[in-house]
A and B are shown apart, each in its own frame.
Chain A
Amino acid sequence: DADVTQTPRNRITKTGKRIMLECSQTKGHDRMYWYRQDPGLGLRLIYYSFDVKDINKGEISDGYSVSRQAQAKFSLSLESAIPNQTALYFCATSDQDSYGYTFGSGTRLTVV
């Protein structure tokens, strides 16, 4: 099994729908992140969490919310999806003693 698992891998949804992307990890890391990747823009941070009781907004949090259900689970929700949220979404983990992230394989989201 992968260290960081994202579900679903692909999703097509309609404008205005609520959608949840899920992430689970077996690394035992405290820190979890959601990033969005758009061509030519690299990765941009949406939200991050340093432990179950800690949630922080990143660079582009508008239109998104998150839930840290357990140390190993961190979900991202789009409350009312819009077409410009079409992107590749990545979950990542780290801990304070490791340098660098472990990424999931990504969720490709298309909003039509």
Chain B
Amino acid sequence: AQSVTQPDIHITVSEGASLELRCNYSYGATPYLFWYVQSPGQGLQLLLKYFSGDTLVQGIKGFEAEFKRSQSSFNLRKPSVHWSDAAEYFCAVDSDTGGFKTIFGAGTRLFVKA
């Protein structure tokens, strides 16, 4: 069965520092992988997605993620964090584009300190 693990419940980084949020998935075939961000009081917004091709994908707001099949990982990175990046981040995996098999991780809350 598909599963998604986000090992860090919360992370605190200083403004301007680099960020990496971890995501590990379990799925037999090539998965479709997503990162979403949820700002307080808001719905989830799609940051980026991977389904084929180049394993390094660029997203909105300066985020990128790298698919590593050998490690079953899809970690989210940003070189320099801004205070406005404070939010909760969700990794998700799907087996096709239908959406009804999408599995979400439990989320990682990012705190940014000045």
Q: Please give the residue numbers on chain A whose beta carbons come within 8 Å of chain B beta carbons, in ascending order.
A: 4, 31, 33, 40-45, 48, 50, 56, 58, 90, 92, 94, 96-106
Q: Which of B97, B99, B106 sits near A41, CB closer than 8 Å?
A: B106
Cβ of A80 to closest chain B Cβ, rounded Å:
26
Q: Which of A42, A94, A102 sits near B105, CB closer than 8 Å?
A: A42
Nearest opposing residue in chain B for A40, CB measure = B106
Secondary structure class of chain A's binding surface, majority of residues: strand
Nearest opposing residue in chain B for A56, CB measure = B100
Secondary structure class of chain B's binding surface, majority of residues: loop
In the complex, what residues of A have CB within 8 A of residue B102's CB? 45, 101
B46 at the interface (CB under 8 A from A): yes
Let me know if A4 and B43 touch, CB within 8 A.
yes
Let me know if A48 and B99 touch, CB within 8 A.
yes
Contacts A40-B106, A42-B106, A43-B90 given; does A104 touch B100 at CB 8 Å: no
List 4 other contacts, CB 8 Å, given A99-B51, A99-B97, A100-B49. A42-B106, A97-B97, A100-B46, A103-B43
